[in-house]
Structure 1
Amino acid sequence: MRLLIVLLLLPCLAVVAAEQSSQKVESITLLDTLTQGAMVRGQVNVKAGVEVLGRSLRIDDEGYFVFGLGRDAEPELTILIHHTNGNTEKKTYSVLQREYDIQYVEGVASKYVSPPPEVSQRIANDAAMVKAARAESRPVSDYRKGFDWPVTGRISGVYGSQRVFNGVPKRPHYGLDIARPVGTPVVAPVEGLVTLAEPDLYYSGGTIIIDHGDGISSTFIHLSKIDVAKGQVVAKGDKIGEVGATGRVTGPHLDWRINWFEHRLDPALVLPPQPE
């Protein structure tokens, strides 16, 4: 009799065990530190759904996904996990807050604070092109292959820094500045698709944007030469241009930026140490 009862219960126990196993697999894992400016990779059950900052993330065939936290990301982050059984799990995480270098400068002439009105339309057109290029997102995971330095050299500007001219806060600096002479080769830090290649934008001069998949993109600005074209696929280490001093700059350097869609990320957080 006991054997009969056990045999009858086995299918039910198997279902319960499968559900528990599935729930365990669907538990989310974050692979990077949650800090302002971070690119955050994670993994979850491939059949689950993940929603962060109001955006549904693409889950690749191995369950990996990515999102980014901007310069001023809030101290608390909520991630929604939509399980295959129809339930939605809400997870809350703490985001490390950073302190940025803020410089206050008084007595600056107005012409150096704001651009002349006659270039306002040009600036708007440039911004629209850049926004469209960063909005392009292929369903690939090139960013998972690891970033290398597009050029090495002295760090002359860091992510998050900001100047306040005559009491008026200017836009924070969202890139990593690497000072090198004009003509120094710039290479792709990881493979991707070129979505913008423009030689003369008002602020950024020679500008390239590369899509690395799932909303992650790189922007390279102030270039003196552009060696790629829109629609071209580049591999890690391919030469894409040369360091310059084009646009609104005070000296030659590469300004490298990383985005997750509209969120500005810190390139320094995805890089290994500079080689000796």
Structure 2
Amino acid sequence: MFSHGAHAQTPPVLIGEMTQGSLIRGKTQPNTSVWLNGESLDVSSDGHFVFGFGRDANLSHTLEWEFMGKKASLPLTLAQREYNIDRIEGVEQKYVSPPDEVLARIRQDNRKIAKARAVSSNLQDFLDDFIIPAKGRISGVYGSQRVFNGQPKRPHFGLDVANSVGTPVIAPAGGVISLADDDMYYSGGTLIMDHGFGVSSTFIHLSKIHVVEGQRVEKGELIAEIGATGRVTGPHLDWRINWYKERLDPALLLRE
């Protein structure tokens, strides 16, 4: 650590597991600037900020802050994780290797999702304690490498909750709906909720959506129903957490 005064030496309070896939919430003095690996972070007027580490993030990082012209830093060391390999057979071939005629639709879907996840609002719902958004059996976990019909695919980035079609899906924390689409090629019925400062929840494979884009939703409120839409082998909710483009592990938020 380096510093130029007692005030700057006081490190921010960090909440969250220092591991790959984790969302880290921070609290510092008001009027403090904060950087992660040299990139500026948004800090609220009362000193709250947030950042996250992806599935395969480097294990060494640097948090810096500046208060009243005095700067200090803190090294952050992440724990490395091991992930499961899931082999899934019986997926329709059109979903394993999508035909050329649907590639334009897939690209359009991806643009919509990227736009919703890029939202940077002043909401502070990310500070709340998250709850699981549906009841059911945990059928898939973050980070697992899925192999469809013997063909390796990119890792899974959500927490899967298996239950019957029509099972209620509730908001895991408060926020504003930034995307509501009932028919995306891969994800079927899809919702994205902004929790503030780049933190968002994504809910996919939904059979019914009960909210609209721009709507404010409180924690525990009904937002959708579990379905089997898009690329699925059975009805379930796939819940994902992002910090901007970083894909995080929802299960870590439930362990705090």
Query: If the length of structure 1 is used for normalisation, what is the TM-score?
Result: 0.84
Of 135, 155, 168, which aligns to 1:185?
168
Q: Report the equivalent of 1:61.
A: 45
In 2: Cα distance, 1:118 partner to 1:46 partner? 53
1:202 paired with 2:199, answer no
In 2: Cα distance, 1:55 partner to 1:97 partner? 23
| 3-state SS of paired residue (2:154) | coil
Greater share of residues in helix: 1
In 1: Cα distance, 2:191 partner to 2:101 partner? 25
- Which amino acid in structure 1 is aligned with residue 7 of structure 2? S
User: Cα offset for 1:169?
Assistant: 3.8
User: Cα offset for 1:137?
Assistant: 1.8
| 3-state SS of paired residue (1:219) | strand
Query: Which aligned pairs between 1:29-108 and structure 2 lie closer than 5 A?
Result: 29-53=13-37, 55-85=39-69, 87-103=70-86
Query: Which aligned pairs between 1:138-177 and structure 2 lie closer than 5 A?
Result: 138-164=121-147, 169-177=152-160
Alignment RMSD: 2.3
User: Cα offset for 1:167?
Assistant: 8.1
- Which amino acid in structure 2 is aligned with residue 101 of structure 1? N
Structure 2: give runs of 5+ residues left out of the alignment: none
In 1: Cα distance, 2:136 partner to 2:52 partner? 26
Contact 1:148 1:272 in 2 (8 A): no
| 3-state SS of paired residue (1:268) | helix
- Which amino acid in structure 1 is aligned with residue 8 of structure 2? Q
Contact 2:9 2:72 in 1 (8 A): no
| 3-state SS of paired residue (1:242) | strand
Contact 1:177 1:253 in 2 (8 A): yes
| 3-state SS of paired residue (2:50) | strand
Structure (1 or 2) with the larger CA radius of gyration: 1
Q: CA offsets per residue over residues 215-273 of structure 1, 9 Å max, x none? A: 10000000000000000000111110100000010100000000000000100001159
- Which amino acid in structure 2 is aligned with residue 28 of structure 1? P
Change (3 A) 1:54 1:168: farther
- Which amino acid in structure 2 is aligned with residue 222 of structure 1? H
User: Cα offset for 1:59?
Assistant: 1.6
User: Cα offset for 1:21?
Assistant: 4.6
User: Cα offset for 1:84?
Assistant: 2.5
Change (3 A) 1:114 1:186: same
Q: CA offsets per residue over residues 160-194 of structure 1, 9 Å max, x none? A: 00134688641110000000100011111111000
- Which amino acid in structure 1 is aligned with residue 61 of structure 2? L
In 1: Cα distance, 2:125 partner to 2:92 partner? 45
Contact 2:8 2:71 in 1 (8 A): no
Contact 1:200 1:206 in 2 (8 A): yes
Q: CA offsets per residue over residues 82-123 of structure 1, 9 Å max, x none? A: 3431x54332211111000124789x9975632111110000
Contact 2:54 2:247 in 1 (8 A): yes
In 2: Cα distance, 1:220 partner to 1:54 partner? 32
Q: Report the equivalent of 1:23.
A: 8
Change (3 A) 1:126 1:267: same
Task: Give the % identical residues.
Answer: 53
Greater share of residues in strand: 2
- Which amino acid in structure 2 is aligned with residue 151 of structure 1? A
Contact 2:8 2:66 in 1 (8 A): no
In 1: Cα distance, 2:152 partner to 2:55 partner? 15
Query: If the length of structure 2 is used for normalisation, what is the TM-score?
Result: 0.91
Aligned length: 252
Structure 1: give runs of 5+ residues left out of the alignment: 1-18
